[in-house]
Amino acid sequence: MSEEQDRKEFQEWYESTVSWSHDGAEPAWMAWQEARARFARASCVAPEEFTLVPVEPTEEQWGGLARDIMQSFLMADGRTPRALLAFLESIGREIPQWLRDEPEMRSLDHTLTKGTRCVMIYRAMVEAAPRVNE
């Protein structure tokens, strides 16, 4: 919506609620714009390939699969796909398909790159994030 149209709607609203005076209109206009901006931010819809996540990770995000993956990486032999999968299975953790499908997971005995390790932890945290409107 253009600012001109927004201003027109505001003036119609303002005149219907209070008697119009130029002195009181400017503060009310600024409040109107702020309210519209807040509403726009609050009602934004993320594209399908995006998700909204908390600014601070929840207990489920940092304490679940992400933590288990990190624990495996901290062990002496835990940096290979074989060791990671064995560790997750040994603690009874369900292994998500996205983790099995990670390209570097196909070569079971090589050390996973730092970038791939970061992506795995990131994906585990995103997967565990609470969903908006669910």
Which pLDDT value is given to residue 103?
Answer: 93
| Angle between helix 81-90 and helix 65-74 axes, rounded to 10 deg | 120
Which pLDDT value is given to residue 29?
Answer: 73
Which pLDDT value is given to residue 47?
Answer: 74
Which pLDDT value is given to residue 71?
Answer: 93
Which pLDDT value is given to residue 24?
Answer: 65
Which pLDDT value is given to residue 27?
Answer: 74
Per-residue pLDDT of the chain (134 residues; tens, 9 = 90+): 677 887 788 777 777 666 555 566 677 777 777 777 777 666 666 777 788 788 888 888 889 999 999 999 998 677 899 999 999 999 999 999 999 999 999 998 999 999 999 999 999 999 998 876 55
CA distances from 23 to 19, 26, 27, 52, 95 (A): 11, 7, 8, 41, 64
Dihedral, 31, 35, 36, 42 alpha carbons, nearest 10: 160
Between CA 101 and CA 130 the distance in angstroms is 24
Which pLDDT value is given to residue 40?
Answer: 67
